[in-house]
Amino acid sequence: MNRLRIFICLLIFTFLLSRFTFHSLLYAEEYKFDASEVEKKPYHIGGYLEFYPILFSFDKNAALYKLNFYNRNMGDTTKQYNGNLQLEGSLEKGISRLYVKTYTNHNNSYQGETTKTTIFEGYGSLKPSSSLIMEFGKKTLNWGKGYAWNPTAFLDRPKNPDDPELSREGYIVASMDYTKSFSGALKTFTFTPVLMPVYSGVNDDFGEVDHLNAASKFYFLFYDTDIDLMFLTGRSKTTRYGMDFSRNITTALEIHGEFSLINGYAQTSVDSNGNQFQRSYNAKNYLIGMRYLIKQDTTYIMEYYRNGTGFNSKEMRDYFSFIDKGYATYMKTDNTYQLNKTATLFQGPYGRINPATNYLYLRVSQKDPFDILYYTPAITLIANVDDKSFSLAPELTYTGITNLEIRLRTIFLVGQKGSEFGEKQNDYRIDLRIRYYF
Amino acid sequence: MVKAIKIALMGILLALPVYAIDGTQLLQQIDRNLSPESFESYRKIINIEPDGRKKEFTYYTVKKGRDKIAGLFLAPASEKGRSTLRLGDNMWFYIPNVGKPVRITSLQSVVGGIFNNADILSLDYAVEYNVEKVEEKSAEYLLHLKAKTKTVAYDRLKMWVEKEKILPVKIECMTEAGMLIKTLYFKEVKDFGGGIVRPAVLETDSPLYKGYKSVMIFAKIKKRDFKDEVFTLTFMPKMELLR
Is residue A326 classed as helix, strand or coil in its secondary structure? Answer: helix
Confirm if B220 and B213 have CB atoms less than 8 A apart: no
Q: B interface mutation test: which of A22, A402, A435 has the most B CBs within 10 A?
A: A402
Residue B39 · residue B51 · CB < 8 Å:
no
Residue A39: the pLDDT is 87
Task: Convert the pLDDT of each residue in A372-396 to its tens digit.
Answer: 778 899 999 999 999 999 999 999 9
The full set of domains in chain A, from first to last, is 2-29+51-437 (2.40.160.10)
**B30 to chain A nearest CA, in Å?**
25
Q: How far is A307 from chain B (nearest CA, A)?
A: 22
- Report the alpha-carbon distance of residue A319 to residue A348 in Å, rounded: 13
Establish, for the pair of chains A and B, how many residue pairs have beta carbons separated by less than 8 Å.
Answer: 169
Domain ranges (residues) in chain B: 23-242
pTM of structure: 0.85
Alpha-carbon separation of residue A355 from A282, A310, A315, B61, B243 (angstroms):
17, 5, 10, 44, 46
Residues of A in contact with B150 (CB under 8 A): 250-251
The CATH class, in words, for B23-242 is mainly beta
Q: What is the pLDDT of residue A346?
A: 84
In chain B, residues with a C-beta closer than 8 Å to the C-beta of A368 are 112, 209
SS (H, E, C) B152-206: CCCCEEEEEEECCCCEEEEEEEECCCCCEEEEEEEEEEEEEECCEEEEEEEEEEC
pLDDT (mean) for A61-78: 92
- Other CB atoms within a 10 A radius of the CB of residue B20 amount to 9
Concatenating the DSSP letter of every residue in A370-403 gives GG-TTEEEEEEEEEETTTTEEEEEEEEEE--STT
**CB distance A85 to A111 below 8 Å:** no
Is some CB atom of chain B closer than 8 A to the CB atom of A299? yes
Interval B134-176: pLDDT, tens: 999 889 999 999 999 888 889 999 999 999 999 999 999 999 8
Beta carbons of A204 and A160 less than 8 angstroms apart? no
In tens, the pLDDT along B21-79 reads: 789 999 999 999 999 999 999 999 998 888 888 889 999 999 999 889 999 999 999 99
Handedness of CA A348, A301, A165, A187 (dihedral sign): positive
What does the alpha-carbon distance between residue B71 and residue B83 come to, in Å, rounded to a whole number? Answer: 5
Give A-chain residues touching B114 at CB under 8 angstroms. none
Radius of gyration of chain A (CA): 24
3-state SS class at A119? strand
- Residue A348 pLDDT level (bands cut at 50, 70, 90): confident
Q: Does A97 touch chain B (CB under 8 A)?
A: yes
* Contact by Cβ (8 Å): B28, B37: no
Quick: pLDDT tens for A292-323.
Answer: 988 778 999 999 999 999 999 999 999 999 99
Minimum mean pLDDT range among A8-22, A358-372, B168-182: A8-22
